[in-house]
Every structure is written in C-alpha cells, then in structure tokens.
Amino acid sequence: MKRFVVLLASLLAVPALASAASISERGAAWAQACAACHGPDGQSQGAIPALDRLSPEDFRTAMQAFRTEERQGTVMNQIAKGLSEADIEAVTTYFAAIRPRRQQ
C-alpha cells in the first residue's frame, strides 16, 4: 500500500504536458534504451553509473547539465541533447517510480 502511495505521488508530480499514462510509456521506452549501457532498470554492473538509486532531482539535474554542456561527460552530452524536455521528465518519472522498489 505504501509503495502504491509513493507511486501515485510520483505520478501526480508529473507536469501536465500529456496524460500520465502516455508519459510513463514514453519514460519506459527511454529507460529501456538506457538499459543497454546502464543495465536493466538502471542497475549497472561496473563503472557506468547506476540509475536506479538516483533521486529524481539528481537525475533531472544531471540530464539538464549534460544537455547544456555545463557538465562534461563522455557519451551523455550527445544523448541528453537528443531527448526533449518532456522525454527527460518522462524518464525521470520512470526511474523515480522504480526507486522505492530497489531500496526495499
């Protein structure tokens, strides 16, 4: 029940750019793409940073900083520029939703 409330809360926090359902599908689609480097559901093995333990704030901030070149990465500057603001929100929401499950 507690997990459901957290989930619901994270869904309600999504900006009203589109319906929560379509944003989540978009978020899941990008998260699946991320999995090739960061591991399934962001659970990375080895040097590539894991995504499943990042707070939504840290995730969003990192993506924006890569996008604006404020932060120098290796591949992430290119990748972040390929995602729209709405894409970044959607994938942030996705990882925010799986985070409580990973931390149990």
Which residues sit at the interface with other proteins, rule CB under 8 A?
7, 11, 20-21, 24-33, 35-41, 44-48, 72, 74-75, 77-79, 81-83, 87, 94, 97-98, 101
* Cβ closest to other proteins, residue 61 vs residue 87: 87
* Cβ closest to other proteins, residue 11 vs residue 61: 11
Closest C-alpha among 36, 33, 6 to residue 90: 33
Measured CA angle at 92 (ends 67, 23), to 5 deg: 105
Give every CB contact of residue 85 below 8 A, 6+ residues apart in sequence. Answer: none
Q: Give the end-to-end CA distance of the chain in Å, rounded to a whole number.
A: 14
* Cβ closest to other proteins, residue 41 vs residue 89: 41
Least separation in angstroms between residue 45's CB and other proteins is 4
Q: Judge residue 80's burial from the number of C-beta atoms within 10 Å of its C-beta, 0-12 exposed, 13-18 middle, 19 or more buried.
A: buried
* Cβ closest to other proteins, residue 17 vs residue 33: 33
Least separation in angstroms between residue 77's CB and other proteins is 8
